[in-house]
Amino acid sequence: MFLRFIAVQALLSVLLLTGSAAWSQPLSAPSLSAGKSAAQSLILGAEQAFALMPPEQSTIRTEANGRRLLELHWTIAPGHYLYREQLRLRDALGQALPLQIPRGQSLDDAFFGKVQVFHQELRVRAALPERPEQWPLKLQWQGCAEAGICYPVQQQSIRAAQMDLDKTAQATAPAPVNTKAASASPLQALALPASVLIGPLAFPSMALATFVAMFASQWWARRKQRQGGQPMEALLLHATLAGLLAARAAYVVQWWPEYWSSVSASAAGALQILDIRDGGWNLWAGLLAAALWAIWSARKQAPLRRGVLQSLCLGAVILLAAHALRNWVEPPQPPLPALTLVSAGAQPTDLRSYRGQALVVNLWASWCPPCKREMPVLAQAQKDHPEVRFIWINQGEDAATVLRYLQSMPLPVAQVLLDPEQLAGRHWQQRSLPSTYFYDANGQLRSMRMGELSRASLAEQLSSIAPARLAP
């Protein structure tokens, strides 16, 4: 009996963990094909590929008419180039400052069509503003690697203090103190992360908590069975199965319209009801069903009933503690990053421009099977919920690969962003693909989901950022 119980418990644990595990994605660009040259396959960081000399007083040239020009000098690494059309300089008022840019080499570019680009180095001159309120300046540039990786738009602030021009420019006000972060609660250190890395796999933290709770309950039941000689392990196993079935059934009932949409679309859609990879469980229904099963089955045997309920209580305490630390203790939430990426439509896109509406950010890659399986679900949700903006940020792939994938999965090109350096993944400390982040209209992160989304689990997450329309 003991060996059979252990085998069944192990099988349940494997189903729970492997059904929700995802391969962790290293935060580095994948290697290119072996047929490329060594110079092409070396993908540098943007700072190394396009090294800008720091603007300082020695880079200022004064003309005969007294006008001061700032000389900007980039050193461009081999196998990389800068776009002429993407060079811009604006003052603090948002006005464009004229640039003296030499003529570049013509190129038929996959992103921008016929353009002019620069190799090896580039020198540009810009007229310095005279009025103090025009400082600081914002410089923007963009380039690509010949291997097919396009870098996000790069920006740098140029301040008067860098060039000893403080007498003609007002000092910049100090950055405001983030009082919200400074007053963060000590409980935030106890917040349970969404996932835990174990070797090459990333497991949802609640799946691991369920695994620990099941084996803790089994240990206590085995201990009480030795003391009293009652078949507590068998009853605990039946109660656990009843709880898991009830937890899944309650979730399916709760989000039945979403499951019914899949079933009505095709007969194969009925299998989604059994597909636990979407993480759909109702904790409260599962605990209640397990307790009621144990009470009813041992209604005539008080010692047996008491021992099994003690075992279930031990597991419930673990699960409830994990649930509270995961859902009720808010960890420090990263805001929308100050990150500008290039869309599949070749337009620079600032993520902060999406503030003011509910936002779903999906990190994905074309080599990731769960990413491809959930993509139609996300695309349909964007059509069904125009009040929510979906953006898909590709991680670590070049433009040609992404554009090729979009031929088979049509998405709004303005909402598909390229992130070859995986800057978004670093910001959110992404542990696996796919990963999806849900922001409300105020730009606050409300929830995240690691792993594949179904229609039901997506609707559940959307209810946290647009509750009035999406709640079941």
End-to-end Cα distance, the chain: 43
Euclidean distance between CA atoms 447 and 432, whole angstroms: 16
Question: What backbone phi and psi angles, to 5 degrees, belong to 133?
Answer: -70, -5
The ranges of the chain with pLDDT < 50 are: 23, 25-42, 167-184, 470-472
- Measure Cα distances from 425 to 29, 127, 139, 278 in Å: 11, 38, 25, 22
Q: What is the pLDDT of residue 82?
A: 93
Q: What is the pLDDT of residue 471?
A: 46
Place of tokens 């896109």: 349
Euclidean distance between CA atoms 418 and 149, whole angstroms: 9
Q: What is the pLDDT of residue 278?
A: 74
Using the 8-state DSSP alphabet, how is residue 365 labeled? -
pLDDT tens string 12-67? 555 555 555 554 544 443 333 333 333 334 457 788 889 998 887 667 888 777 78
Sign of CA dihedral 377, 380, 385, 387: positive
Q: Bridge-partner residues for 81, per DSSP?
A: 144
Sign of CA dihedral 108, 112, 117, 119: negative
